[in-house]
Structure 1
Amino acid sequence: MRVSEMKKRRESGNLLLDRTRGVYDRFYQGTVLGPPQDVLAFGVVVQIRPVNISVCRQQVADQNLVLSVVITQEGLHRNCNTINEMCDLTVAPSPHPALRNSFRIVSPNEDDRTGQYLAYGEKFRLQALEPADEPMYVFSGPKRLNLSLPVDKAFFTTKNGEVTLPLGLVSHKNCGPSARVPTSHTHFFCAHKDPDLRFESEGKTIPVHNPLIIVHAVTNRNLAVENVLANTLFGPEFQVSVQTYKNVYKRETWKNQWKFTY
């Protein structure tokens, strides 16, 4: 690159360093969680935190690890400066509530159910806070007929040699009966962490900060944090997937245990 061209890009803010700094500031723009309640409800803004990450003896509780959105190199090269379908999802440290690590619980359909309590077994969608004019939903799905994955990602995890189902983001315009992603692929529901209490807890409200299982409705697999790091533009972060992990007692391990926090 010539010096004159570099100066022009620097003055116009088109240098890769300037764009990266702008995206970083945008994704870490502060947000307000809530409104705080004792139980989960539609319309509230929450953070989704793993209960525990048992990968080493080092304490990670003070890092406030939460589900987060991370921009990819492809999105950066295409001058994307907000959350879009090319973003990935990880579990990353959250120094404060921000656009990249806060989600709104919304209705599984087009009905406005703001303020209504969310119950165990009731379907919902997780919506990113931006862009406001084109809602972005967390989704996953089963493998296609040719065994390809429903989400194009730069990194994957495996379980017993099989690639796990990844998480992605889909815009409202690309989600529907005749769209690229069926609406049902954005549906999740919560299950009690104790298998012996799941049947009797169906239909009951969900206390905030209580450990629970987040299930993807279509695949019937659980949201999972993997003990595998991904080198992202924000640094090393834990990968996430839709995969069920159980121990010898047929109970979900720490990888599938989450809690909603304000």
Structure 2
Amino acid sequence: MAAYRPGVLMGNWKEDMCLEEERVRDFIQKRERGELLTQKINRLNDNLFKKVKLSVSTNGFVCFGDTVMLLSPSKEPSGWRDVEACGELTLAVNLEEVSIYSPVSLRSPCAVSAISTTGPVGRNTFCILSVDGGSVGEPVKFGQKFGLGTTGGFSHPMFYLGSDHRTFMRFAKKTHLQQVFLTDEPSYLTCWQANFLDPQMRLEYEGIPVPANCKLIITHCHTNRSLAVPRNFWGRSYFGREYEVICHTYLDSHRAEEDKNYWVIVTGNPGDDGGAMHNRPEPQPGGTGRNVS
């Protein structure tokens, strides 16, 4: 019998070697299929977080075919306990619903949320769609039906923002009110309309083009309830807080919508820097309209 030497293998060396070879083969197979975590993160960045160029409004109105963001304006800090919930929020695809296997895809119906990212990216930009025969480039009018479709980053060509009456089986997770979702089939559930902010002037503005980058009310045509962000119902994801978006009309003592129902349809900045109009710096007296450090 040979004496023990440092080169003699001890223990379950054969099993350990086979397990290591199996791990290497598994790694190579996952890399070829694009299932490694780093590859999934890169796909997310290339799709949902890729910068999107918003449409520039040449006439000051929102038009069919425009790529826009739906922004919930900032609130007064005095009225909210949580200061973080007071900032600007944009409507976006809920990342919990996203399958990160190649290609990036959504499951219908898919939830939406409001996020603090106010820069235009794949997950928070939408296209204004015509549902009554309006042509691309024609202004959207107050009281006119329109659709909202996702702009990119998904294997399916487009998903549509929709809502439906609350039932015992279908409601928003946190508020238990009427839910808002994305679906892959356009229907009467995916029709919306813009209403003038002041309810006393709403009839007078019926049929007038909708101005871009101004506060307004977005109402679901089928249920006649308005798009809202309560801001006190939220969940935490890997990318920060995501606030629940619902369809519910919040009315004050004067029967006017509260600021939870306020929205701004944001278009692109025509300047050289691009971006969105709500991020455009205010012009300074005697200056060129740009921030000067």
TM-score interval, smaller chain: 0.7 to 0.9
Closer/same/farther in 2, CA of residues 139 and 95 from structure 1, 3 Å limit:
closer
Tell me the residue number matched to 1:178. Answer: none
1:132-178 CA distance string (max 9 Å, x none): 8632110111135xx3217xxxx6232xxxx111111111xx34xxx
Question: Is it true that 1:89 corresponds to 2:106 in the alignment?
Answer: no
- 2:245 counterpart SS class: strand
Question: SS where residue 135 of structure 1 aligns?
Answer: coil
**When the two structures are superposed, what TM-score results if normalisation uses the length of structure 1?**
0.80
Structure 2 Cα separation of the partners of residues 86 and 20 of structure 1: 23
Mapped pair 1:101 → 2:124:
yes
In structure 2, the residue matched to 1:36 is 57
Q: Cα gap change, 1:36/1:83 in structure 2, threshold over 3 Å: closer, same or farther?
A: farther
Partner of 1:184: 188
Shift in Å, 1:35? 2.9
The question of whether the paired residues in 1 share the 8 Å contact of 2:164 and 2:189 is answered with yes
Do the aligned partners of 1:71 and 1:83 also contact (CA within 8 Å) in 2?
no
Looking at structure 2, the residues matched to 134 and 11 of structure 1 have their Cα atoms a distance apart, in angstroms, of: 27
Q: 1:80 to 1:246 in 2, by over 3 A?
A: farther
The separation in 1 between residues aligned to 2:84 and 2:241, in whole angstroms, is 17
Aligned match of 1:71 in 95, 102, 107? 95
Q: Return the match for 2:251 from 230, 246, 249.
A: 246
2:142 paired with 1:140: no
Structure 2 segments unaligned to the other structure (5+ residues): 1-18, 268-293
Which of residues 19, 27, 36 is equivalent to 1:7?
27
Per the alignment, do residues 118 and 71 of structure 1 end up closer, same or farther by CA in structure 2, a change over 3 Å counting? same
1:149 aligns with 2:170: yes
The residue aligned with 2:280 is: none
Judge which range, 213-222 or 250-259, deviates more.
Answer: 250-259
SS of equivalent to 1:166: strand
CA distance in 1, matches of 2:122, 2:100: 21
TM-score by length of 2: 0.72
Residue 121 (str. 1) matches residue 134 (str. 2): no
Work out which of the residue numbers 164, 177, 181 in structure 1 matches 2:177.
164
Measure, in 2, the Cα distance between the counterparts of 1:64 and 1:6: 45
**Of 230, 236, 240, the match for 1:226:** 230
Distance 1:78 1:106, change over 3 A: same
Question: Highest CA radius of gyration, 1 or 2?
Answer: 2
Q: Structure 1: how far apart are the matches of 2:134 and 2:251?
A: 36
In structure 2, the residue matched to 1:255 is 260
Flag the structure with more relative contact order, 1 or 2, with Cα contacts below 8 A and sequence separation at least 6.
1
For the structure 1 residues 239 and 21, does the alpha-carbon distance in structure 2 shift closer, same or farther, using more than 3 Å as the test? farther
Are 1:107 and 1:125, in contact at CA under 8 Å, matched by a contact in 2? yes
Deviation at 1:11, TM superposition (A): 2.9
Q: CA deviation at 1:39?
A: 1.0
Tell me how large the CA RMSD over aligned residues is: 2.7
CA offset digits 1:214-252 (Å, max 9, x no partner)? 000001000001221122343321110111111222121
% identical aligned pairs: 23
Q: Separation in 1 of the partners of 2:165 and 2:47?
A: 32
The change in CA–CA distance for 1:206 and 1:53 in structure 2 (over 3 A counts) is same
**Match of 2:7?**
none
